[in-house]
Amino acid sequence: MAMSNLKAKLLEKIEAHRPRTTKLNKEFGNVVIDKVNIGQCIGGARDIRSLVTDISYLDPFEGIRFRGKTIPETFAALPKVPGKEQPFVEGFFWFLLTGEVPTMAQTQEVVADWKSRSAIPAYVIDVLRAMPRDSHPMTMLSAAVLTMQRDSVFAKKYGEGGLKKNDMWDPMYEDSMNLLAKLPPIAAYIYRMKYKSDIHIAPDANLDWGGNFAHMMGVAPPYDELARMYFILHSDHESGNVSAHTTHLVASALSDAYYSFSAGLNGLAGPLHGLANQEVLGWIQNVMKKLNNKVPTKEELEKFLWDTLNSGQVIPGYGHAVLRKTDPRYVAQNEYSKKHLPNDPMFQLVNMIYEVAPGVLTKHGKTKNPWPNVDAHSGVIQWYYGVREWDFYTVLFGVGRALGVLANITWDRGLGYAIERPKSVTTDMLEQWAKDGGRKGAED
Ligand SMILES: CC(C)(COP(=O)(O)OP(=O)(O)OC[C@H]1O[C@@H](n2cnc3c(N)ncnc32)[C@H](O)[C@@H]1OP(=O)(O)O)[C@@H](O)C(=O)NCCC(=O)NCCS
DSSP 405-432: HHHHHHHHHHTTPPPP-PPP--HHHHHH
For atom 10 of ligand 1, the residue with the nearest CA is 367
Q: Which residues of 115-145 are buried (b: 16+ CB within 10 A; e: fewer)?
A: beebebeeebbebbeeeeeeebbbebbbbbb
Q: How many angstroms separate the alpha carbon of residue 362 from the centre of ligand 1?
A: 12
Q: What per-residue confidence (pLDDT) applies to 293? A: 81
Q: What per-residue confidence (pLDDT) applies to 444? A: 55
**Could you tell me if 415 and 14 are in contact, meaning their C-beta atoms sit under 8 angstroms apart?**
yes
List residues bridging with 69 in a β-sheet: 66
* pLDDT tens digit sequence for 333-357: 999 999 999 999 999 999 999 999 9
318 pocket-lining for ligand 1 (C-beta < 6 Å): yes
Give the whole-angstrom CA distance, residue 263 versus residue 251: 10
Tell me, yes or no, if 175 is annotated catalytic.
no
Residues in the chain: 444
List residues bridging with 87 in a β-sheet: 80
**Could you tell me if 248 and 284 are in contact, meaning their C-beta atoms sit under 8 angstroms apart?**
no
**Could you tell me if 176 and 421 are in contact, meaning their C-beta atoms sit under 8 angstroms apart?**
no
Q: Helix 223-233 to helix 375-384 angle, to the nearest 10 degrees? A: 160
Tell me which of 245, 273, 327, 412 is the catalytic residue: 273
The ligand 1 atom at the shortest distance from the C-alpha of residue 317 is 44
Q: Which residues of 66-82 are buried (b: 16+ CB within 10 A; e: fewer)?
A: bbebebeebbebbbbbe
67 DSSP 8-state letter: T
Of the candidates 197, 239, 213, the one whose C-alpha atom is nearest the C-alpha of residue 406 is 239
Stretch (H or E) spanning 90:
helix 89-98
377 pocket-lining for ligand 1 (C-beta < 6 Å): no
Stretch (H or E) spanning 354:
helix 345-364
**Could you tell me if 192 and 198 are in contact, meaning their C-beta atoms sit under 8 angstroms apart?**
yes
* pLDDT tens digit sequence for 72-83: 999 999 999 999
* HSE-CB of 235 using CA atoms within 13 angstroms: 29
The torsion angles phi and psi of 17, rounded to 5 degrees, stand at -85, -35
Angle at 349 between CA 291 and CA 221, to 5 degrees: 115
List residues bridging with 63 in a β-sheet: 59
Of the candidates 183, 162, 222, the one whose C-alpha atom is nearest the C-alpha of residue 405 is 183
Tell me, yes or no, if 320 is annotated catalytic.
yes
For the whole model, what pTM was predicted? 0.96
Give the whole-angstrom CA distance, residue 121 versus residue 299: 53
Pocket test for ligand 1, best of 320, 325, 360, 371 (most atoms within 8 A of CB): 320
366 pocket-lining for ligand 1 (C-beta < 6 Å): yes
* HSE-CB of 237 using CA atoms within 13 angstroms: 28
* pLDDT tens digit sequence for 45-99: 999 999 999 999 999 999 999 999 999 999 999 999 999 999 999 999 999 999 9
Tell me which of 245, 320, 377, 412 is the catalytic residue: 320
Q: Helix 89-98 to helix 393-414 angle, to the nearest 10 degrees? A: 30
Sign of CA dihedral 3, 104, 79, 383: negative
Q: What per-residue confidence (pLDDT) applies to 292? A: 81
The torsion angles phi and psi of 66, rounded to 5 degrees, stand at -95, 120
List residues bridging with 58 in a β-sheet: 64
Of the candidates 339, 385, 344, 90, the one whose C-alpha atom is nearest the C-alpha of residue 222 is 385
Q: How far apart, in Å, are the Cα atoms of 180 and each of 17, 173, 188, 300?
A: 24, 10, 14, 44
Tell me, yes or no, if 234 is annotated catalytic.
no
Pocket test for ligand 1, best of 233, 366, 378 (most atoms within 8 A of CB): 366
Stretch (H or E) spanning 26:
helix 5-27
Per-run averaged pLDDT (10 residues), the chain, 444 residues = 92 98 97 95 96 97 97 98 98 98 98 98 98 98 98 98 97 98 98 98 97 98 97 97 98 98 98 92 89 87 95 96 96 96 93 97 97 95 96 97 98 98 97 96 70
CA of residue 356 relative to chain centroid, distance? 28
Q: Which domains does the chain have, with CATH numbers?
A: 276-388 (1.10.230.10)
Q: What per-residue confidence (pLDDT) applies to 295? A: 82
Q: Helix 169-195 to helix 5-27 angle, to the nearest 10 degrees? A: 120
> Going by DSSP bridges, is the β-strand pair 56-59/63-66 parallel, antiparallel, or unpaired?
antiparallel
Stretch (H or E) spanning 186:
helix 169-195
